[in-house]
Structure 1
Amino acid sequence: MKLIYETHATTVDNERGIATGWLPGELSAAGREQARELGVRRRDVDVVFSSDLRRAVQTVELAELSAPHLVDWRLRECNYGELNGVSVEALEPRAARVGVPFAGGQSYGDVVELTRSFLGDVERWYGGATVLVVAHSANRWALEHLLGSGRPVEELVAAPFSWQPGWVYGV
């Protein structure tokens, strides 16, 4: 299976430095254009999975891909609990939250385990397919840990974010 991961397009919260977490979020004008560009870039996929949070679903909808689109709650961003909707800086140091949940929320380790569960099901259902996943930064770190470099999640969450037009993994 070929798994292509793309982050959801830019949101109003991203532009304001807000950590949306489990809140729905809304794409900004720039994000809506990015979503359309994703659709041009990823015409060759067999199936699309996304988080059920609005910003990820909206990204896929605006991409106008012809492949079936399935939503899966296991692809949600980390639940920051009481910190959903605060400034991104308020989440630091993120590495401290790999094994310890945010108050009223999850840990990044929880996201890794949900992503692992998702991968097992997708491999079973779509083993020979090209699968596009549209989700959030925590899922990218989980995929990079599980399928990519294998680097510890503590290192991945502490590293600066560098956007690129998708990450490709062989499963």
Structure 2
Amino acid sequence: MSIEIVYETHALSEDNERGIATGWLPGRLSAQGRANAADMGRRRRDDGIVAVFTSDLRRAAETAQIAFGDSGIPVLHDWRLRECDFGARNGSPAVDVKLDRLEYCDRPYPGGESHSQALARVAGFLADLPSRWAGQRVMLIGHLATYRALEQATTGRTVRDLVADEFEWRPEGWEYRLG
């Protein structure tokens, strides 16, 4: 039985606005991000979602709390939905991390993980979903690594191709069917 997945990135963070690659640092939503999160809640609360899964990093957890905290929809935190761990480069300028990102598809960032490891981590989360949520509609709030893992699971594209792509944020998010 398949699972419907609604995916949205965490709302705009202060680091996003400053051009920082937050990675595994907690981050914090900006004023615009808090407004975006409230919009997400208005858009998605009556969308048939039975559970919301979010990265445990502060910027994603804060997005979920603002959007769904008082909705009655369970919000579940899972570390496997985190962004790629850029290791020593967490908190670096995003333009620098983006510039040589293809060098870290299979080789870990110093003190961190590779993009392949990050996608495998998220894939482990996706593999666990059917044990409780088969046949239902759930929402994931995460990061670029979450998006790439969903794209890989549904299209079979390589990690290198996914990392090479330019990411374009969609205010309405993405929808996937697994299984």
Give TM-score, length-normalised by structure 2: 0.91
Q: How many Å apart are 1:125 and its aligned residue?
A: 1.3
Taking the aligned partners of 2:121 and 2:138, their CA distance within structure 1 comes to 17
- Name the structure 2 match of 1:25: 27
Q: Secondary structure of the equivalent of 1:170?
A: strand
- Name the structure 1 match of 2:107: 100
Taking the aligned partners of 1:138 and 1:160, their CA distance within structure 2 comes to 13
Give TM-score, length-normalised by structure 1: 0.96
Runs of at least 4 residues off by over 3 Å: none
2:79 to 73, 79, 93: 73
Stretches of structure 2 lacking an aligned partner (at least 5 in a row): none
Q: How many Å apart are 1:151 and its aligned residue?
A: 2.0
- Name the structure 2 match of 1:153: 159
Q: Secondary structure of the equivalent of 2:73?
A: coil
8 A Cα contact 2:122 2:145, kept in partner: no
Q: Deviations over 1:131-160 (max 9, x none)?
A: 10000011111111112x322221222222
> Size of the alignment, in residue pairs?
170
Taking the aligned partners of 1:5 and 1:17, their CA distance within structure 2 comes to 23
Aligned-residue Cα RMSD (Å) equals: 1.0
Q: How many Å apart are 1:115 and its aligned residue?
A: 1.1
Taking the aligned partners of 1:40 and 1:32, their CA distance within structure 2 comes to 13
Stretches of structure 1 lacking an aligned partner (at least 5 in a row): none
Q: Deviations over 1:81-123 (max 9, x none)?
A: 0000000122122122110100000111111111111011112
Q: Secondary structure of the equivalent of 1:162?
A: coil
8 A Cα contact 1:95 1:155, kept in partner: no
Instruction: Give aligned-pair identity as a percent.
Output: 45
